[in-house]
Amino acid sequence: MNYGLRISLPADQQIDAQPEPLRSFIRASLDRLAQNPTAVSRRAGSASRGQAAEFRYDRGGVSLWVTVRFLYGQDEQTLYVENVEVEFGE
Query: What are 34-84's pLDDT values in tens digits?
Result: 999 988 888 876 545 689 999 999 988 889 999 999 999 999 899 999 999
Give me the CATH number covering residue 18: 3.30.2310.20
- What is the model's pTM? 0.88
Please give the pLDDT value at position 50.
Answer: 82
Strand arrangement, sheet containing 41-43: 4-7, 78-88, 62-72, 51-59, 41-43
Q: How many domains does the chain have?
A: 1
Residue 55 sits in which domain range?
Answer: 4-42+50-88
Give rounded-to-5 percent helix, strand, coil for the chain.
Answer: 30, 40, 30
Please give the pLDDT value at position 90.
Answer: 63
Return d(Cα 60, Cα 52) in angstroms, integer.
Answer: 26
Query: What are 20-32's pLDDT values in tens digits?
Result: 999 999 999 999 9
